[in-house]
Amino acid sequence: MSNSDDLEERFRQLEREVSNKFEPPLKSADPFKTEFNQVSDNTVETAKTSLSGLVNWINSLTGVTKIAAIAVVGILTFAIVKFLVNLVAAAVSLVFMVAIAYVLYKLFFETKS
């Protein structure tokens, strides 16, 4: 009997830990504070840790493998930057097209009062 009691108590303890871990955080009392402007320090630290891990891995390589790794990382970096530039260019083009369409609509299709 003691063994099942211990298991039940351990199960209840684990339930409490899980429910405490996954409770939603309380909302801030400040209504003007937006979540978009808040960058978690944890996110920045995670990015720094990942980048330093990549640099350490590349530094641990030798000879041709190090050159190849640097080339691959460089190509990937340029590909990501190119993608982001194209994304911004597409967004700007879309904004201009919508603005032109709006002006044309106002000129030709809106009823005059």
Tell me what the mean pLDDT of segment 39-60 comes to: 83
pLDDT of residue 102: 94
77 pLDDT band, cuts 50/70/90, is very high
pLDDT of residue 4: 80
C-alpha angle 61-62-65 in degrees, rounded to nearest 5:
75
Contacts of 59 (CB under 8 A, 6+ apart): 66
Kindly state the percentage of the chain with pLDDT values over 70.
Answer: 80
Mean confidence (pLDDT) of the chain: 83
**pTM, full prediction:** 0.51
- Say yes or no to pLDDT of 23 above 80: no
Greater confidence, 68 or 32? 68
- Say yes or no to pLDDT of 60 above 70: yes
Tell me what the mean pLDDT of segment 23-52 comes to: 66
27 pLDDT band, cuts 50/70/90, is low
- Where helices occur in 2-62 by DSSP H, the ranges are 2-21, 41-60
Query: Is 92:103 a contact under the CB 8 Å cutoff?
Result: no
Contacts of 70 (CB under 8 A, 6+ apart): 58
